[in-house]
Amino acid sequence: MGLLDGKRLLITGVLTPQSLAFHVADRAQQEGAEVVLSSFGRMMSLTERTANRLETTPQIVELDVNDPDHLAALANAVGGALGGLDGVLHAIAFAPEDALGGKFMSAPAESAELAFRTSAYSYKAVAQALLPLLERKPGADGKRTEESALVGLDFDATKAWPIYDWMGVAKAALESVNRYLARDLGPHGIRSNLLSAGPLRTMAAKGIPGFKDLADMWPQQAPLGWDIEDPIPVANTVCFLLSDMARGISGEILHVDGGFHAIGAPSHP
Burial 33-51 (b: 16+ CB within 10 A, else e): bbbbbbbbeeeeeebeebb
Tell me, yes or no, if 164 is annotated catalytic.
Answer: yes
Q: Which of 103, 164, 180, 206 is catalytic?
A: 164
Helices 122-134 & 68-82 angle (0-180, nearest 10):
40
Residue 253 has φ and ψ, to the nearest 5°, of -120, 110
Q: How many Å apart are CA 155 and CA 254, to the nearest integer?
A: 10
Q: Which of 103, 171, 180, 212 is catalytic?
A: 171
Task: Estimate the share of the chain in helix, then strand, then coil, as percent rounded to the nearest 5.
Answer: 45, 15, 40
Tell me, yes or no, if 121 is annotated catalytic.
Answer: no
Active site residues per annotation: 164, 171
